[in-house]
Structure 1
Amino acid sequence: MSLTSRVFGLFTTTENSASNPDAPSSTSQSQAAVTAGDHAFQTAGSMSSRVQTAPAYDEEEEEPRPPYLHAMLAGGTGGTCGDMLMHSLDTVKTRQQGDPTFPPKYHSMTSSYATIYRQEGLMRGLYGGVTPALWGSFPGTVIFFGMYEFTKRKMIDAGITPDLAYLSGGFFADLAASVVYVPSEVLKTRLQLQGRFNNPHFSSGYNYRGTTDALRTIIRQEGFSALFYGYKATILRDLPFSALQFAFYEREHQMAIDWMGSRDIGLGLEILTAATAGGMAGVITCPMDVVKTRVQTQKNPETTTTGPPKPPCEPASTKETPRHHQHHSSPPSSSLRAHSRYISHSSPSTSVPPPGTPRLDTSSFFTGLKMIYQTEGVAGWFRGVGPRGVWTSIQSGTMLVLYQYLLKQLDSYQNMGETSPL
């Protein structure tokens, strides 16, 4: 080895030993640093993965509470749109439930729909009574949603279980709104059952020229209290319906939120939860709806007949006989009173009604249920259940989906107003 190589090797060894006096220690420290770095990287990666996979919805998160005004406007708009959309199907249901003739003229939902449209048209037939329906729909649903949100929040804040709060909220909300919508319901059902003016295809016992004429005639001949006729039967139908509808909806909506992991469950699940809730509540309360329809559409004892001339097979009552013919024999007043509460005036000229047509000469809800069961059986309770189930499903779906959508829009508008500069 040359002298130059030895000198170079001497300086190289010295520099290495000076720069790295403890080589094994330095190696272990570097390995420890690498290990610590890898551990830190893995920890950070696992944390980031947790953040990415964590659901956006927290189960402990409090249910959103929109302002009362937003809930009332959104509910009123959604409810009115749903009622107007399904009014024609509600007319079919009213005809099926309100015609007690045996065999009934209106059978299945599709054939009844086609028959009414062919014989009476769209606006005077299927959409008869739409004006009073509009009168009662918007103010009634505005009151309903305001009272529902108020009752639900108060009960939940008091420590009551949410399911019971939803059930009670729907019950009390419908009770508050009934003062507004029951008079419109009386006008609507009578005009739906009547159909067109001077209807030659169906005799209902009524013959109003329109909504205003119906209102004036009822008040003049039956008194203002007649607008609340069947009030008990109406609330005994609507209170359990609204309670069940919103209890089903809130529970199904919460299940959809838990399943999706977010409060934004999508349009499909919004429609599904709302429609099934309304449909199940509508089918369950169909017997109450049958009694309510017949009580509100039957003729009252003291009223004069405003309908068209009766068929020749039916004897005219004393009230329709001219004065110069009153010397003829007439039935006793008690018999007249007993036979003046028919739902329809198309019965034959005998004192015994056709089989299967109960005389609901009572305003008692439970007596009406009993009478229908005795003459028609369980099938009488569920007369018109097909149209009612479809109607309540679509109406509920339309109302609640629009309700949720409008709440989001009103909330976004409010946030934009708060953040935008003056």
Structure 2
Amino acid sequence: MFSFTSSIPVIHPPHEQTHLGKSGKSSTGNNEGQAGSDNATNTGSGYSPIVHCILAGGIGGAIGDSVMHSLDTVKTRQQGAPNTAKYKHMLSAYKTIFVEEGIRKGLYGGYSAAMMGSLPSAAIFFGTYEFLKRKMIDDWAVNETVSHLTAGLGGDLVSSVVYVPSEVLKTRLQLQGRLNNPHFHSGYSYRSFRDALMTVVRTEGWQTLFFGYKATLSRDLPFSAFQFAFYEKFRQWAFRLESKSHGQDLSVFSELGTGAAAGGLAGILTTPLDVIKTRIQTQRPSSKSMDGQQVIRIENSLVKGLGAVYRSEGALGFFSGVGPRFIWASVQSSIMLLLYQVTLKSLDRYA
């Protein structure tokens, strides 16, 4: 997710091998890779209140997405306009958008739409994740790994009601840039986020806000699963490399590095699904050209969308925008995880 949302892809806090019973006391296992892990949802004497998780998740998600929004715009241009030569390469595309369109309407186009989805969807995700995880482990005695993965999927499903509509509007505004953009013709002419919302609902129907819903979930659910598995494994390696034992914490460098590696690899693996999601959400109601290039229309179907991309662009088309997505997922995951933990600890300390 965070994909979240979100498009916040999301780094789930490490809980593996740490079972918290109904009393709220922690009982940490002897797995070396997990020993000493910083349980972001446990203060040591008990669970953090759900409301703290909601606040910390919202803050971490919003700041992480804010920092990386400009790179997400580059990725959207590459995926939404694959035949536009000036957006083919990540660095040159970033420079081109900055020089031609500036920061506010160019690189940070669609930022308002992004924040309308990022903060509440991240908050909802972490609240749902924590509730489901505690319920499954403490009350239903479900295996911890299964509980964490299921809670992560549940968090994505619940928060998707918020972040998918915002993702549709965000990607269209990112593709458009400024109103009547002389440097890139997207086919859109929205004056603002509010105008985009009203225009889409009035001319295309509210259902359009959920275009690509299945494609978005198909991207975000496996992203969360891959990310969680990678993150836990990388942390085990980091503990061994640093020769850390029970009760010790990893260095900041390792915390950031493991989160970045997990998010980046998950981002690469789910890029084909991200391409389809972007194409479905940004295409016009009827087949029209974009910046002088004919756009292949993709039906609101994941399988048919993959087939359409392959026929028109070949296998490389599945990885359009993979560079920006890899960097975005890596950096955003590290920032979000670190801020989530720091904010949660602060809230617990001063509660």
TM-score (ref. length: structure 2): 0.82
Choose from 298, 301, 305 the match for 2:283.
298
Could you tell me how far apart the structure 1 residues matched to 2:288 and 2:214 are? 19
- The residue number in structure 2 matching 1:252 is 234
Contact map agreement 2:86 2:92 (CA 8 A) in 1 = no
- The residue number in structure 1 matching 2:287 is 341
- The residue number in structure 2 matching 1:140 is 121
Mapping for residues 94-105 of structure 1, pairs under 5 Å: 94-101=76-83, 104-105=85-86
Could you tell me how far apart the structure 2 residues matched to 1:117 and 1:73 are? 33
Contact map agreement 1:147 1:173 (CA 8 A) in 2 = yes
Contact map agreement 2:101 2:178 (CA 8 A) in 1 = yes
The answer to whether structure 1 residue 217 and structure 2 residue 199 are counterparts is yes
The answer to whether structure 1 residue 235 and structure 2 residue 217 are counterparts is yes
* Corresponding letter in the other structure for 1:273: T
Choose from 326, 329, 332 the match for 1:392.
329
Post-superposition shift, 1:100?
Answer: 3.6
Contact map agreement 1:98 1:343 (CA 8 A) in 2 = no
- The residue number in structure 2 matching 1:403 is 340
Could you tell me how far apart the structure 2 residues matched to 1:343 and 1:266 are? 51
Contact map agreement 2:283 2:297 (CA 8 A) in 1 = no
Could you tell me how far apart the structure 2 residues matched to 1:260 and 1:160 are? 29
Could you tell me how far apart the structure 1 residues matched to 2:81 and 2:116 are? 25
Could you tell me how far apart the structure 1 residues matched to 2:103 and 2:272 are? 28
Post-superposition shift, 1:94?
Answer: 0.2
Could you tell me how far apart the structure 2 residues matched to 1:110 and 1:236 are? 28
Alignment length (residue pairs)? 309
- The residue number in structure 2 matching 1:277 is 262
Could you tell me how far apart the structure 1 residues matched to 2:307 and 2:88 are? 23
Mapping for residues 98-113 of structure 1, pairs under 5 Å: 98-101=80-83, 104-113=85-94
The answer to whether structure 1 residue 367 and structure 2 residue 304 are counterparts is yes
Post-superposition shift, 1:272?
Answer: 1.2
Say what the alpha-carbon RMSD is for the aligned residues: 2.2
* Corresponding letter in the other structure for 1:359: R
Residue 254 and residue 151 in structure 1: after superposition, are their counterparts in 2 closer, same or farther (change >3 A)?
Answer: farther
Contact map agreement 1:194 1:203 (CA 8 A) in 2 = yes
Contact map agreement 1:246 1:277 (CA 8 A) in 2 = yes
Could you tell me how far apart the structure 2 residues matched to 1:229 and 1:147 are? 24
Choose from 150, 174, 177 the match for 2:156.
174
Post-superposition shift, 1:249?
Answer: 2.6
Post-superposition shift, 1:159?
Answer: 4.2
Choose from 83, 86, 99 the match for 1:118.
99
* More relative contact order, 1 or 2 (CA 8 Å, 6+ apart): 2
Residue 223 and residue 212 in structure 1: after superposition, are their counterparts in 2 closer, same or farther (change >3 A)?
Answer: same
* Corresponding letter in the other structure for 1:149: E
* Corresponding letter in the other structure for 1:59: N
* Corresponding letter in the other structure for 1:97: Q
Could you tell me how far apart the structure 2 residues matched to 1:346 and 1:91 are? 20
TM-score (ref. length: structure 1): 0.69
* Corresponding letter in the other structure for 1:227: L
Q: Deviations over 1:110-150 (max 9, x none)?
A: 10000000100111100000001011111000000111122
The answer to whether structure 1 residue 183 and structure 2 residue 165 are counterparts is yes
Residue 180 and residue 387 in structure 1: after superposition, are their counterparts in 2 closer, same or farther (change >3 A)?
Answer: same
Could you tell me how far apart the structure 2 residues matched to 1:405 and 1:343 are? 47
Post-superposition shift, 1:263?
Answer: 4.6
Post-superposition shift, 1:363?
Answer: 0.8
Contact map agreement 1:190 1:206 (CA 8 A) in 2 = yes
Mapping for residues 36-51 of structure 1, pairs under 5 Å: none
Contact map agreement 2:121 2:160 (CA 8 A) in 1 = yes
Could you tell me how far apart the structure 2 residues matched to 1:114 and 1:201 are? 13
* Corresponding letter in the other structure for 2:218: L
Contact map agreement 1:294 1:343 (CA 8 A) in 2 = no
- The residue number in structure 2 matching 1:267 is 252
Residue 79 and residue 388 in structure 1: after superposition, are their counterparts in 2 closer, same or farther (change >3 A)?
Answer: same
Could you tell me how far apart the structure 2 residues matched to 1:149 and 1:205 are? 42
Could you tell me how far apart the structure 2 residues matched to 1:69 and 1:254 are? 30
The structure with the largest alpha-carbon Rg is 1
Could you tell me how far apart the structure 2 residues matched to 1:288 and 1:358 are? 17
Gaps of 5+ in 1: 1-56, 301-339, 348-352, 415-422
Could you tell me how far apart the structure 2 residues matched to 1:143 and 1:255 are? 31
Residue 71 and residue 248 in structure 1: after superposition, are their counterparts in 2 closer, same or farther (change >3 A)?
Answer: farther
